[in-house]
Chains A and B, each alone.
Chain A
């Protein structure tokens, strides 16, 4: 059933062989073929630009007011590439290996190897576009190091790498708009995919300014619509990030791969109260110099600086002496949750732990600086002053951001942090060519499930988005479209368009006619709470079963009691939100079912029943060495299809950080 279409031959030759034999579309025919691209983040913008350059007639859609706003823009840390500019032993194979291992052996070898291969081209392309990467004094590109690796392969532009890469892709896209190869539809949201004779042939979307429904034809449809972290209500995702496009595709036949694989990032600014609308990440790099602790005493209400050294519990250093504060994201997150649940949390809500820079500020940076400047026996005041200067240079903008949000100066008092939902490894199931289980329907970037297994390494999301858009889809799409050159554009008066629009319109009418008492926001918050409590950092059978029941009940409540003000035929952000939340509710149910089915722990998915004696994640390769590809059958009804994972090159092992 599930054909992943992985080319035959040795791993390192698969992509080259594929490219050498793939079908091509001649330039004259390309001009006759229309390509719909939904979403304009790194994957969508890079795909739209590249396909426009090739001569396809591209139509691109985003719900924001400009393609430059897509949430890829918020990525801080960097982008990985196997350039080995640092001469520290990096290679395509090492990047491939680190990514598969980081994903806890739940990713496809062939896809990940291709990703590592094209990573080097991405950097070259971005430099050529004028992306201002950080540079050394010699004028060459600089690198930093990131979690889960032993080499320096991360390219960056201060704490704004995502922004600079997206602006590069956006500029390339706007250039194609100017040349007439791409038509851009901003403030448009896709609300259904149109399928004719088993092939994706267009979309129905809502013009968010006028409220009108529109029909758009394409010979093929590419979804580049990002992840679904907002199912948890609170996440580091942008407010508008949603699953709707992917979910509509899913309901029209595209399988959903590993929906329960969610990345929870350990260092985010904690929730301050019920008013909280989103969470903000503090880069992983801070854990290099910060020590994480909570008071040894329960419900300790003293200020952090008033708690003496011997009354502090540096729990990561205590539990993981070998890796200490630098354990992987999933481990650090679970450990923070454990302390807070046990009553040791800090701050007003008690849902936070301290990230303290004082020790390294004084001892690591302060003393080094004093040594450099030849100051003998420096007093504490001097050490603090010198240390602060260095820390400011290393992390200045993050410290400023923290102060703006919390009103506390992290040079003086420890940061308060707590884990938050950050990324979703799961997504639409795609084959090697990035095609979903619906012919002619593709998924790129975070929207698909393909490359990160059960846990994504830092600085790899940007790499995957751009790999898919710049260097994979321009080849694989041709292989499909070569057989479509005789297909004339289908008029949007076709009955399939008619029906799809009717269904969308009916649903909107239904939503508007409920006229209940509860706001969309309040229902979304309740969904988030269920997901966070029962399908969050730790999951168990009983909790997941309860969650499924609770979500079903919430769904009933939503469809009978939601209140949406305003009209249909006008700008109506509440209606747009209701459309998205309705889909999140359905997705939430599937995520819980997937988490329930996967009775093992791996990467970000931690089933309490499956742990080692020391409380670490325990995989069951004998039972779960597969991708769960869920097929939609009807309301609350899914069929599980399995894609077996075959490791030909890498041998899976158990991770250990003690």
Chain B
């Protein structure tokens, strides 16, 4: 692969903390190698800012392998940037060319308040899991793993749903800031498996109730979430969630 260097203009959201208003700040970076990752380009910018005696830009990141779900930049109007099925940390500078202007914002959703610059608080996702995103089995109670045979197709579907990394791109992409793709991925993962069956009904009702309580919006099936999901979680999961919800709500006496 031929590589090249480029000069770029960055318009980055700066915000001191959650209680003040933020604004865009423009910075120039030069000699950015096409081999760098997007976050490494930010590392260069931050070193430059420190050198100039300014505060570096705060952003969430950790594994830089596309699996921890921590990175969360809204790049040129798209969560995680232009590449399909890719997290910000796996986006590389080959995606851009010399002279480009790149606009970088945090996730924007009421349920994800900005903590600083590009960092947001996604604790709402943890609370949704607390509401029912688990199988109630204590350590030590398990029977032999092979006593529960699972149809391969079902197991594969459950795995595909469980691949969700909880990054919140689905919420950031949705015009209503709905968390339906995230919630449906967990509901589907556990509903597809026999282990999840006993709590099937309470799980879906409780998780949806918590989602509403957190201030996420409603789903209107535009599919923007699926289009930006770095793990390609399918919209089919939302259909399954709706079915599970109807089944549970119809017989619920709560």
Asked if B240 lies at the interface with its beta carbon under 8 angstroms from chain A, I say no
Whole-angstrom distance from the CB of A571 to the nearest CB of chain B?
5
Q: Is the CB of B126 within 8 A of A174?
A: yes
Q: Is the CB of A128 within 8 A of B152?
A: no
Q: Is the CB of A127 within 8 A of B53?
A: no
Asked if A240 lies at the interface with its beta carbon under 8 angstroms from chain B, I say yes
Whole-angstrom distance from the CB of B191 to the nearest CB of chain A?
10
Q: Is the CB of B163 within 8 A of A65?
A: no
Specify which of A69, A136, A521 is in contact with B152 (CB 8 Å cutoff).
Answer: A136
Whole-angstrom distance from the CB of B64 to the nearest CB of chain A?
5
Q: Is the CB of A565 within 8 A of B90?
A: no
Asked if A139 lies at the interface with its beta carbon under 8 angstroms from chain B, I say yes
Whole-angstrom distance from the CB of B207 to the nearest CB of chain A?
11
* Distance in angstroms between the alpha carbons of A521 and B121 in the assembled complex: 25
* Distance in angstroms between the alpha carbons of A64 and B3 in the assembled complex: 34
Whole-angstrom distance from the CB of B4 to the nearest CB of chain A?
11
Minimal Cβ-Cβ distance residue in B for A567:
B55
Specify which of B37, B50, B146 is in contact with A563 (CB 8 Å cutoff).
Answer: B50
Whole-angstrom distance from the CB of A200 to the nearest CB of chain B?
24
* Distance in angstroms between the alpha carbons of A571 and B14 in the assembled complex: 13
* Distance in angstroms between the alpha carbons of A167 and B49 in the assembled complex: 37
Given contacts A74-B65, A123-B145, A276-B40, are A135 and B70 in contact (CB under 8 A)?
no
Asked if B219 lies at the interface with its beta carbon under 8 angstroms from chain A, I say no
Give the contact-size bracket for chain A: 35 or more
Residue among A46, A136, A280, A470 with the most chain B CB within 10 A?
Answer: A280
Q: Is the CB of A519 within 8 A of B51?
A: yes
| Surface stretch bound by A, among B96-104, B132-140, B171-179 | B132-140
A65 proximity list for chain B (CB < 8 A): 60, 70, 121-123
* Distance in angstroms between the alpha carbons of A137 and B149 in the assembled complex: 10
Whole-angstrom distance from the CB of A82 to the nearest CB of chain B?
13
- The contact string, 1 if C-beta is below 8 Å from chain A, for chain B 124-135, is 011001110111
Specify which of A127, A136, A141, A573 is in contact with B58 (CB 8 Å cutoff).
Answer: A573
B149 proximity list for chain A (CB < 8 A): 138-140
Given contacts A238-B62, A273-B33, A519-B47, are A83 and B67 in contact (CB under 8 A)?
no
B66 proximity list for chain A (CB < 8 A): 401
Q: Is the CB of B68 within 8 A of A238?
A: yes
> Nearest 8 A-B pairs (CB), nearest first?
A139-B149, A407-B1, A171-B134, A124-B142, A128-B142, A132-B159, A127-B145, A178-B130
9 extra A-B contacts, CB within 8 A, seeds A141-B146, A277-B37, A566-B55: A46-B139, A49-B139, A124-B143, A125-B137, A125-B139, A125-B142, A127-B195, A132-B162, A573-B58
- A-B contacts, 17 of them at CB < 8 A, read A65-B122, A68-B166, A69-B69, A74-B65, A125-B142, A128-B142, A130-B135, A130-B189, A135-B152, A139-B150, A171-B134, A238-B63, A238-B68, A277-B40, A521-B47, A565-B49, A574-B50
